[in-house]
Amino acid sequence: MKDHPRSVDEIAEDYRSRREALLRALTEDVDKFYSQCDPDRENLCLYGEPDGQWKVDLPEEEVPPELPEPVLGINFARDGMQRKDWIALIAVHSDAWLMAVAYYYGAKLDKEGRQKLFKQINGIPTVYETVTGKAKVVNGGKAAKKRKTTEPTAEREPKAQASATPLGIGRLLTDNDVNLDLRGRQAELFWPDDNLWYLIEIQNVNVRQKQAKIMYTDGSTEELDLEEIIRDGHMSLITQ
């Protein structure tokens, strides 16, 4: 059996993996998820696994269970609510479960460790915020080095939210997207230097010069050449 995560970074990574799995169920795989939540079945739960996979299953029979359990009976409300409202409700309960699992693992951390864990988790938009399109970036943190796609750059210093692959809830930015409607949109920006996709918010757009000011989740800002970004396929615009 794989050892449970013990350090702050290991617990935070477990949180991120489970979160990405739940997001996939509620966005990219939502039709499959919806069909599996048959109200005629017994009480069902939505699980996010540390390997990034999700499943709809019966609760554990073991009492008490090894880990905190997700909310029970998500399938019973499926046909009694608007689909988007039901998905939002599942997202809220999924966030509560993710925090329960993280702090189950983190119960043995000291005060500083728990604060560090919460800071890492709180820097990531919740499942609810992401699913409903209400995700906002978090201010604060150390200023980032400028991204220069035409020459090598040093390693990024801030701990901005990033993942090895896009969240799967967006599409690549195109020339047709470069207009004032981009302001306030959420996107993911690829950094070839560390092969990570960083969650950003587009704050302002210069349509004529095809430039944009963006902000990372650690509060650092940057000016981008959108022509280069589009040419290289380095931005995934999160769909609304």
Q: Choose one of 132, 150, 173: the last residue of a domain.
A: 132
Residue 221 is predicted with a pLDDT of: 87
Walk along the chain (240 residues) and give the pLDDT tens digit of each residue.
457 888 998 999 999 999 999 999 998 899 999 999 999 999 999 999 999 899 999 998 887 888 999 999 999 989 988 998 999 999 999 999 999 999 999 999 999 999 999 988 887 888 998 888 765 433 333 333 344 433 333 344 445 788 887 777 888 999 999 999 999 999 999 887 777 889 999 999 999 989 999 998 888 888 899 998 998 889 999 876
Residue 48 is predicted with a pLDDT of: 95
Closest CA to 144 of 132, 154, 152: 154
Convert the pLDDT of each residue in 94-135 to its tens digit.
999 999 999 999 999 999 999 999 988 887 888 998 888 765
> Is 70 contained in some domain?
yes
Q: How far is residue 218's CA from residue 192's CA, in Å, rounded to a whole number?
A: 19
> Is 197 contained in some domain?
yes
> Is 42 contained in some domain?
yes
| 181: CATH | 2.30.30.140
Residue 89 is predicted with a pLDDT of: 94
Residue 43 is predicted with a pLDDT of: 92
As for how many domains the chain has, the answer is: 2
Residue 240 is predicted with a pLDDT of: 61
Residue 195: what are its φ and ψ, rounded to 5°? 55, 40
CA distances 114 to 26, 66, 95, 108, 162, Å, are: 29, 21, 18, 9, 21
Residue 2 is predicted with a pLDDT of: 57
> Is 157 contained in some domain?
no
Q: Do 196 and 122 belong together in one domain?
A: no
Looking at residue 94, what DSSP letter applies? H
Residue 135 is predicted with a pLDDT of: 56
Token pair listed for 97: 């479960």
> Is 89 contained in some domain?
yes
Q: Do 181 and 83 belong together in one domain?
A: no
Residue 159 is predicted with a pLDDT of: 54
> Is 170 contained in some domain?
yes
Residue 192 is predicted with a pLDDT of: 79
Q: Do 106 and 185 belong together in one domain?
A: no
Structural domain for 216, as ranges: 162-238
